[in-house]
Amino acid sequence: MTNSKTLFNRNTQFSNDFNAADLPIIPQLRSVILTCADARVDPAHIFQLNLGESVVMRNSGGRVTKEIIEEIAAMAFMVGKMDGDEQKPFELIVMHHTHCGTERYANPEFQQALKMHIGIDVSSLAIHNHEKSLHEDIEKLRTASEIPRYIIASACIYNVENGTIHQVIEPATLGAMCPYINLDKK
């Protein structure tokens, strides 16, 4: 049996007991979690989420990209329309993790090999330092004109060795956050 068949069989078991047809579109915890696509990093387990509690977005490294900004902006617009005149808080957690594959993207030789062999530039996804990368990602959100200032953002690092998270940026509205200044850049 293939792994796909195993997963499809698990869905059959899941659907036999399914009782969540009435879940609302807006997640119950009014939150979005952006994290890495790494199989060791599953927000449903890390935060003990139930179905319908949070939106989970995943990409290489859990990095804030143009596409992520557009998705969050579109979602915020939709939620705002659904909320009507009563603007309720919506939270975004950006979560990176230890021993991430995107740490390898920081190696210039690896970047060059990827670009040469498959034509992909991963330099903007490279994680040299998790805390700095999280500050840079939150800064991208803070300065993105498409994203409403009332969104509450925070950032943390998940430790794949012991299951804990270390909060790097406390929850605050994007409008109230101070600009991030990277002192390492010249």
| Residue 19 maps to a domain | no
| Residue 124 maps to a domain | yes
The DSSP H or E segment spanning 5 is helix 3-16
| Residue 89 maps to a domain | yes
What would the mean pLDDT of 26-38 be, rounded to a whole number? 96
| Residue 9 maps to a domain | no
| Residue 116 maps to a domain | yes
Task: Supply the pLDDT for residue 89.
Answer: 82
pTM tops 0.95: no
Task: Supply the pLDDT for residue 100.
Answer: 96
pLDDT bracket for residue 177 (50, 70, 90) = confident
- Which residue in 155, 124, 169 sits closest to 32, CA to CA? 155
The DSSP string of 6-41 is HHHHHHHHHHHT---TT--SS-TT-EEEEEE--TT-
CA angle, corner 46, sides to 136 and 61, nearest 5?
30
| Residue 120 maps to a domain | yes
Which structural domain, as residue segments, surrounds residue 91? 25-176
Domain count, the chain: 1
Higher-pLDDT residue of 180 and 26 is 26
**Is 26 buried (19+), middle (13-18) or exposed (0-12) by CB count in 10 A?**
middle
CB contact set of 106 (below 8 Å; sequence gap of 6+): 126, 127, 128
| Residue 98 maps to a domain | yes
Taking a C-beta distance cutoff of 8 angstroms, is the pair 79, 92 a contact?
Answer: no
| Residue 20 maps to a domain | no
Residue-wise pLDDT for 86-100, tens only, equals 878 889 999 999 999
Q: What is the CATH number of the domain that holds 54?
A: 3.40.1050.10
Please report, rounded to a whole number, the percentage of residues in the chain having pLDDT higher than 90.
Answer: 86
Task: Supply the pLDDT for residue 183.
Answer: 56
pLDDT bracket for residue 186 (50, 70, 90) = very low
Sign of the C-alpha dihedral computed for residues 74, 77, 79 and 81 taken in this order: negative
Average pLDDT, the chain: 93
